Amino acid sequence: MSAPESHPNLLSAEKTLLVVVDMQEPFLRNIFERERVITNVCALIAGANALRVPVLGTTQYVARMGDVVTEVRRLLPGRQPILDKMTFSCYADPAFAAEVARSDRKQILLCGIETHICVSQTAHELIAAGYQAHVAADAVSSRSEANYRLGLEKLKQGGVLLSSVEMALYEMLRKAGTSEFREILTIIK
């Protein structure tokens, strides 16, 4: 007897692309729960790397706003360039849209900042383009708690699937007893 088919709303390591949105110091400086966001984004990237899930990072106007913060940058795969954009929606940038298409992944897991601007617009446009958008709610934030919460609510209303870092990693992991499971355990602790 073969394994049952997984529910389509559960993340699959083979179908997922992780997108890390605009983790730059000028944006993070006044972010609500900054340390939570950095810690959880780093855990999500480390978990994606352990599960061999491709990771795509973005910056907003890097010439003015600077590169991704060091804690996050060191975990991003070196072979994949970070895509710089001027649009709030990552998906509105043609280079980003081309990378997502090239990945051949239909589940896009988002983390980063800000929830109510770039993350929200990206997720909504991904859905409009036929992708399944997921957001790790504990790995996103905004400058104010109110905008963070409103952003999550709008995402939910727009059909985006909300999860947590741990939930997303365990969905992609699917089973215990593997070397990846042991690595995820050390990341989640």
Q: Provide the annotated active-site residues.
A: 22, 85, 118
The 3-state DSSP class for residue 146 equals: helix
Q: How far apart are CA 151 and CA 116, in angstroms?
A: 4
Residue 111 one-letter amino acid: C
76 contacts 20 by C-beta, under 8 angstroms: yes
168 contacts 44 by C-beta, under 8 angstroms: yes
The 3-state DSSP class for residue 148 equals: helix
Question: In terms of Cα–Cα distance, which of 89, 98, 95, 170 is closest to 133?
Answer: 89
- Quick one: which H or E segment has residue 153? helix 145-157
